[in-house]
Amino acid sequence: MLKTRPPLLYGACVALLALVGATATAPVASAGPDLTRAAAARAASIPTPEQHFGFKMGTEGKLASYSDVLKYMKLIAERSDRVDYQTVGPTTMGNEYGTVIISAPKNLRRLDRLVEINQKLADPRGTTPEEARRLAAEGVPFYHLEATIHSSEVGNGQAINDIVHRLATEDSDFTRNVLNNSVVVLVPSQNPDGQQLIIDHFNRTAGTDYRRTYPDLYHKYTGHDDNRDWTMFTQVEARYRLELEKKYRPAIVHIMHQKGNSGSRIFVPPYGGITSENVPANMSASVSAIGQHAARAFAAAGKTGVGSLDYHIFWTLEQPVGYFPFTGAGVYLTEIASVTDYAYPQKSQDGRPLGPQQARMNLIEPYRSDTWTLADIVDYAKIATYAGMEYTASNGEKLLYDNLYAVPHEYLTKGVPSGTFAFVVDAEQRDTYATFEMLQRLEWTEVEIDRAKTAFVADGKRYDAGSYVIKMHQPRGNWAHQVLGTDRYPEVRDCGECPVLLPYAEATTSLPLQLGVDVAEVRTPFDAQLERVTSVQPPQVTMPPAPSAKGAYLVRPESYGTIQIVSALQDANIPTFRGGKGFSAKGVDYPAGTYIVPATPQARNVLATASAKVGLQVTAVDRTPKVAGVQLKPKTRVGLLRGVGNMPGGWDMWQFDQYGINYDVVSAQDFQRKSLNELYDTIVVSSGVSRDDIVEGLDPAQYDEAYSWAYGVGEKGWRMLQQFVRKGGTLLAIGDSVQTAQQLLDLPMKPALPNDDDEFVTGGSLLNQEFDPDNPVAWGMPESWPVWLYDTQAWELTDDSGEVVSNYPAEGEILASGYLRGAEHIRGTTNVASFDVGKGQVVTYGSEITFRTLPRAQYNLLYNAIYHGPAAEVDATAVQQLRPQFSPDGALLKR
């Protein structure tokens, strides 16, 4: 609210007449007890969405853009004392992520106190149950309303304009109840960038022959996976959501989505399917109640096609709900059927009504019409939201106590259902950067971490001082258990012959296995002298004294944090060698792949900055080891063949940007050169890029110049890609792009896994893997560690011209965490393999080693290969002399 501005009185009468929302409450002409005369005048000056945007929300073919929606929200905030607008911060692409806070003026005036109450409730350590009862009676619940995260699901983002207008202007039993007894925290968009991209494209293509739907990722890096970022919190928008949870402690979170058009018209809870025992029972029950309250409202409004008992989303956190349920917030998911090209009616093909027509308990009244429109979406969104708000406002005291307080209190006092006492993170770790990244995620999600001041024994094992202990008796015990434990995904079917209910893509959320941290789950209580960790930082490292002129700096290759050191060396054009075998120096053993860097002041500066950032120790030796190896090519040029609209490619871009990799996205224009080798040393083909994506690409008749980078390059381009490798380029293919590489170069390999889910399926799991750490692609890897496998392939090499870099074990346990059906099919098969093709090299990664940037313990497999292919072999004497093989501009020196 902004009180200094004089009221602008346009359309005041119309505004009052346009108050009627989706429920049947009649507007009351007089101002409520909370409205002063001046405030009433300002409220009357608030234009309706139709006045503001020039069309009614839900009008066929018309979409309000995100920036216009924000303008409208800010305008209402200026004129209404029920509405505040706050900027949270810039998005990935620099748009504005904001929130709209809506409540009665008296609540907005005491917002600090209401937030303080929520904070006290959410902290069972400082609040007794009696005090919590009193606080719950004094406070009001916060209703976090996330209008959209999937940007192609445009209807909800239109409906909120009507919703906010109604709450800001109407005086009725409904609005009085909601405003007086709750605080609405509206996030107009959880992914503003995507809404800009989608709706701008939609508007730009109006009246043209081009497709109206946006072809590329609608979040720069994650696309539709923007909703699969709830364990690593890689994206700034995901961290904003986390910050809003911490700031306001919502008791109910309403997350609005749209779905396909073949099923019910809207899904409301109860949910169906499998749940994790880590998810608090109360949270599920409270949103089941809300969902049924909404179903009642739909019935009362004569709206049909309301479904429930669907979306089994509580096994892991990849799904819409994310982290919220673990805080005690009830997550109320609504999914509304979509229409054609975002904003045009869906008509049934055969004239029959849309959606299932048999009444069942999960769809009491089938939808009887053959048409479904954007206006229907807007209507259904409003009914579902008003019902959620009404339930929350009417049950505030219970929700505040049962959700916000009782859930963390239960874990603090009773621990977790599995009976686990604690997780112990040994002070001795292969990858200290991985440990840092894991503990940082725990810290972000308010998990209490303790560090041992002295050595202790747990489950018969001795741990040194400095080891970390995460006890389960803590407010976030359930969450810590979810992300630190290993999973055994249950085999559940809806009927005897039905397929196993699989998760969407993640049957496990184990951070330790994904990142490469040794963590022990300890059931028996133990004593240890502990201190609370107040701030998680990378380990502190100091540079060693500068070695003599004949010496060198050494960087070990085990940690994936090393990638950032290497890219800094590349960026500064510092000669960088790698030992091809293990060696000893000053009594310390260094493995194959150790980085050897000349002891120049410039190198020292770069190493000091980069190693401090990742907390990895650089060492120094006065005599450079005499070991044959390679020198990395200065400024190795990386191309990323990512595929338009292909999410794995987006994640790969994010990772490259984070790690400072010198890369460009491979474009159709690149194929107009004489040769791709002019541009790139290494081309990475993201998972999901097929031959068709390369050869056919986007159709210029359907997508204009803006997407020309993704046009097809034809058979000629396909042959150029072959030539790129044969002339010395390095090609790395990830996941199901291995098949593309196999087709491209006729690699001697064949698929090992059956196509049938009944025979083999993982649902997205971590499977044990054996590595050959002597192979340059696996330098620094342990002999075994799990890899991520979702729905791609394992391979058999058909002759011995290729080298096996890693394979699934021939004996013993294969599943490390998650689910595996048909272990016998994958036993002993090849995952990562390397091939010499002409003068070039190809490495194929059958499993998705970069899947959503989660399985970071495997990253070195990719980055080793990115730099190794273009590197020059160096004999032992030349390494010892650190004799350059390249000129500074990357050309090989003649010998």
Binding residues for Zn ion, rule: CB under 5 A, are: 150, 257
Q: Which CB sits closer to Zn ion, 257 or 471?
A: 257
Residue of 818, 814, 822, 760 whose CA lies nearest to 792? 760
Q: How far is the CB of 487 from Zn ion (least distance, A)?
A: 24
Residues 6+ positions from 577 with CB-CB distance below 8 Å: 595, 596, 597, 629, 630, 631, 632, 874, 879, 882
Of residues 1 and 253, the one with the C-beta less far from Zn ion: 253
Q: How far is the CB of 194 from Zn ion (least distance, A)?
A: 11
Q: How many helices (DSSP H) and strands (DSSP E) are in the chain?
A: 27, 38
Nearer to Zn ion, 150 or 201 (CB): 150
Q: Which is nearer to Zn ion, 160 or 689 (CB)?
A: 160
Interhelix angle 155-169/37-44, rounded to 10 degrees, is 150
Q: Where are the beta strands (DSSP E) in 735-814?
A: 749-751, 765-767, 770-771, 787-789, 795-797, 803-807
Q: How many Cα atoms occupy the beta-carbon half-sphere of 130 within 13 Å?
A: 0
Tell me whether residue 191 or residue 730 sits nearer to Zn ion (CB atom).
191
Least distance between Zn ion and beta carbon 201 (Å):
18
Residues in the chain: 895
Q: Which of 699, 669, 848 is nearest to 766 (CA)?
A: 848
Q: Which two tokens stand for residue 882?
A: 């650190």
CB of 564 to Zn ion, least distance (A): 33
What gap in Å lies between CA 201 and CA 766, rounded to an integer? 39
Q: Kindly give the residue spans of alpha helices, DSSP state H, lying in 395-460.
A: 396-399, 406-414, 432-444
Closest to Zn ion by CB, 150 or 265: 150
Q: How far is the CB of 272 from Zn ion (least distance, A)?
A: 17
Please tell me the distance from the alpha carbon of residue 730 to that of residue 726, in angstroms, as a whole number: 9
Instruction: Provide, rounded to whole angstroms, the least separation between the CB of residue 481 and Zn ion.
Output: 27
**Of 267 and 391, which has the nearer Cβ to Zn ion?**
267
Nearest-5° angle of CA 316, CA 318, CA 324?
80
Query: Least distance in Å: CB of 257 to Zn ion?
Result: 3
Query: Which of residues 504 and 709 has its CB atom nearest to Zn ion in the complex?
Result: 504
Query: At its nearest, how many Å lie between Zn ion and the CB of residue 242?
Result: 19
Of 190 and 467, the one with the shorter C-beta distance to Zn ion is 190
CB of 256 to Zn ion, least distance (A): 9
Expressed in percent and rounded to 5, the helix, strand and coil fractions of the chain are 35, 20, 45
Nearer to Zn ion, 132 or 333 (CB): 333
Minimal distance, residue 320 CB to Zn ion, in Å? 7
Per-residue DSSP letters for 5-71?
A: SPPP-SSHHHHHHTT--SS-PPP-SS--TT--HHHHHHHHTPPPHHHHHSS-TT-TT----HHHHHH
DSSP 235: S
Q: Tell the burial category of 884 from Cβ atoms under 10 Å away from its Cβ (0-12, 13-18, 19+).
A: middle
User: For helices 432-444 and 477-484, what crossing angle results, to 10°?
Assistant: 150
Tokens (6 digits) for 115: 């937030």
Q: Shortest gap between Cβ of 355 and Zn ion (angstroms)?
A: 18
3-state secondary structure 595-637: EEEECCHHHHHHHHHHHHHHCCCCEEECCCCCCCEEECCCCCC
Burial class (CB in 10 A: 0-12, 13-18, 19+), 33: exposed
**Cβ-contact 576, 633 below 8 angstroms:** no
Q: With respect to Zn ion, which residue has the nearer C-beta, 150 or 382?
A: 150
Shortest Cβ 323–Zn ion spacing (Å): 17
Of 625, 588, 617, 578, nearest to 775 by C-alpha is 578
Which residue, 671, 655, 577, 666, is CA-closest to 876? 577
CB of 151 to Zn ion, least distance (A): 9
CB of 219 to Zn ion, least distance (A): 12
Q: Which CB sits closer to Zn ion, 152 or 655?
A: 152
* Contact in structure between 464 and 475 (CB atoms under 8 Å): no
Question: What's the closest the beta carbon of residue 886 comes to Zn ion, in angstroms?
Answer: 49
Choose between 334 and 509: whose C-beta lies nearer to Zn ion: 334
SS (H, E, C) 143-168: EEEECCCCCCCCHHHHHHHHHHHHHH
| Amino acid in the structure at residue 760 | F
What's the min distance (Å) between Cβ of 384 and Zn ion?
14
d(CA 373, CA 343): 7
Give 336 or 603: the residue with its C-beta nearer to Zn ion: 336
Residue 190 or 830 with smaller CB distance to Zn ion: 190
> Nearer Cβ to Zn ion, position 227 or 807?
227
